């Protein structure tokens, strides 16, 4: 109880968004699976928060919960998402539409399919602006041209008139970024925005996002499985495993001394991150399916520090100071 109180007090200061004990479930043939289970974190103004984990660990479902876009038959079961002083999990669809694309922008994973193939680029950007602003057509067109310039197109008029199939993957991702920032959001959610791109284009997109965060003073939730990106871009990091947030840390401390055994395994298994090992280590075993979760700590079948209690009880979130949270019995008092 005392621990929960401490966490709430931390959340009371100036954060763009605060997520408290979010639980999102999906109903499937065999019952209900918990895609996101008791996830809590907050993002300060101007901060980049990196949410990291393997496929299926709940990162995207967390983002969709924030956007009010959890696909049926999934739903937010409990918890709160505090944005501009309101719990947005309680808003109706009309109220969420005022926030989505306006105050919270999202860049989706797949630039090849996220755009409408039969609409010109300019119209697609203008559409979002029109929904959330009363501006006239000329004003909106000016804004679209400025956005196209801002995301790196030298000939915005030409790009305005083109269709998605005329653009490369990197160019389409720039368009999605232009759409996501078109209403000056307070929070930008980027869900694996560079996964489908080559390394050179990835680097350009990351540098663009970094510049926009500074210029607009936005906060960003950056979702990825790539720790190298988080090291370059984020100030704080959350590690997800099996739908749970298992470590929250600042980026600098995380990479010098990851705390959770899974985090240690991740850092040790990636080239050039630990800096200590000549031979890369691997984490044995596999992430459990959401429908086949082990008892106790969900990481215990793969953990090299497993103790008897880990097989029976799920660890709570232990805190170190105000900033570090670890879901592991190794850190109980
Ligand atoms: Fe390993 Fe136990 Fe910590 Fe889970 S709670 S990560 S099994 S030591």
- Give the tens place of pLDDT for each residue, 170-214: 899 999 999 999 999 999 999 998 887 788 888 888 988 998 888
Q: Which of ligand 1's atoms lies nearest the C-alpha of 246?
A: 6
**pLDDT for the residue 271:** 63
**Strand partners of residue 244:** 241
Q: Is residue 47 part of a domain?
A: yes
HSE-up (13 A, CA, CB side) for residue 261: 18
Instruction: Judge contact between 238 and 281, C-beta under 8 A.
Output: no
Instruction: Give the model's confidence band at 2: pLDDT under 50 very low, under 70 low, under 90 confident, else very high.
Output: very low
Q: Is residue 194 part of a domain?
A: yes
Q: What is the three-class DSSP state of 96? A: helix
Q: Is residue 155 part of a domain?
A: no
Q: Which of ligand 1's atoms lies nearest the C-alpha of 300?
A: 7
Q: Is residue 158 part of a domain?
A: no
- Say which CATH number the domain at 27 has: 3.40.50.300
Q: Is residue 229 part of a domain?
A: yes
User: Which residue range is the domain that position 219 belongs to?
Assistant: 2-103+183-331
pLDDT above 50 (res 8): no
Q: What is the three-class DSSP state of 333? A: coil
DSSP letter for each residue of 146-209: HHHHHTT-S-HHHHHT--GGGS-HHHHHHHHHHHHHTT--SEEEEESTTTTS-HHHHHHHHHHH
Which of 240, 302, 303, 317 has most ligand 1 atoms within 8 Å of its beta carbon, as the pocket-test mutant?
303
- Give the tens place of pLDDT for each residue, 206-228: 988 998 888 888 999 999 999 99
Mean pLDDT of 4-13: 39
Residue 323 sits at φ, ψ, to 5 deg, of -110, -25
pLDDT above 70 covers a percentage of the chain that reads 93
Per the structure block, which two tokens stand in for 133? 């602003």
Q: Is residue 146 part of a domain?
A: no
pLDDT above 60 (res 275): no
Q: Is residue 174 part of a domain?
A: no
Using only C-alpha atoms, the chain has a radius of gyration, in whole angstroms, of 21
- Give the tens place of pLDDT for each residue, 278-330: 566 788 888 888 888 999 999 999 999 999 999 999 999 999 987 899 999 99
- Residues at CB less than 6 angstroms from ligand 1: 261, 297, 299-300, 303, 305-307, 310, 315, 328-330
Structural domains of the chain, count: 1
- Give the tens place of pLDDT for each residue, 214-272: 888 899 999 999 999 999 999 999 999 999 999 999 999 999 999 999 999 999 887 66
pLDDT above 90 (res 110): no
* Ranges 3-7, 60-64, 104-108, 115-119: which has the least confidence: 3-7
CA pair distance 292, 148, nearest whole angstrom: 46
Instruction: Judge contact between 58 and 39, C-beta under 8 A.
Output: yes
Q: Name the pTM for this structure.
A: 0.90
CA pair distance 201, 308, nearest whole angstrom: 48
Q: Is residue 165 part of a domain?
A: no
Q: What is the three-class DSSP state of 16? A: strand
**pLDDT for the residue 1:** 35
**pLDDT for the residue 278:** 55
- Give the tens place of pLDDT for each residue, 53-81: 988 899 999 999 999 999 999 999 999 99
Residues 6 or more apart whose CB falls under 8 angstroms from that of 108 comprise 114, 176, 191, 193
């Amino acid at each position: 109880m005392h621990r929960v109180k401490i966490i709430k007090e931390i959340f009371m200061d100036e954060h763009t968004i605060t997520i408290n004990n979010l639980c999102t479930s999906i109903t499937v043939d065999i019952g209900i699976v918990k895609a996101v289970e008791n996830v809590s974190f907050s993002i300060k103004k101007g901060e980049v928060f990196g949410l990291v984990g393997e496929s299926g660990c709940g990162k995207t479902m967390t983002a969709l919960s924030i956007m009010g876009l959890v696909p049926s038959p999934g739903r937010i079961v409990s918890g709160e998402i505090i944005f501009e002083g309101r719990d947005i999990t309680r808003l109706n669809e009309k109220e969420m539409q005022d926030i989505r694309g306006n105050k919270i922008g999202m860049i989706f994973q797949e630039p090849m399919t996220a755009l409408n193939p039969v609409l010109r680029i300019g119209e697609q950007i203008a559409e979002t602006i029109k929904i959330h602003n009363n501006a006239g057509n000329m004003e909106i067109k000016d804004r679209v041209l400025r956005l196209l310039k801002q995301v790196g197109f030298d000939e915005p008029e030409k790009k305005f008139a083109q269709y998605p199939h005329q653009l490369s993957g990197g160019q389409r991702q720039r368009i999605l970024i232009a759409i996501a920032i078109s209403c000056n959001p307070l929070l930008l959610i980027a869900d694996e925005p560079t996964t489908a791109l080559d390394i050179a284009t990835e680097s350009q997109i990351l540098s663009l996002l970094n510049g926009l965060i500074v210029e607009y003073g936005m906060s960003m939730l950056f979702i990825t499985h790539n720790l190298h990106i988080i090291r370059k871009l984020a100030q704080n990091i959350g590690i997800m495993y099996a739908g749970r947030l298992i470590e929250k840390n600042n980026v600098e401390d995380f990479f010098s001394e990851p705390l959770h055994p899974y985090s240690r395994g991740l850092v040790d298994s990636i080239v050039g991150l630990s800096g200590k090992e000549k031979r890369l280590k691997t984490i044995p075993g596999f992430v459990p399916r959401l429908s086949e979760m082990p008892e106790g700590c969900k990481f215990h079948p793969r953990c090299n520090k497993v103790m008897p209690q880990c097989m029976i009880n799920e660890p709570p979130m232990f805190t170190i100071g105000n900033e570090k949270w670890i879901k592991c019995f190794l850190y109980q008092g």
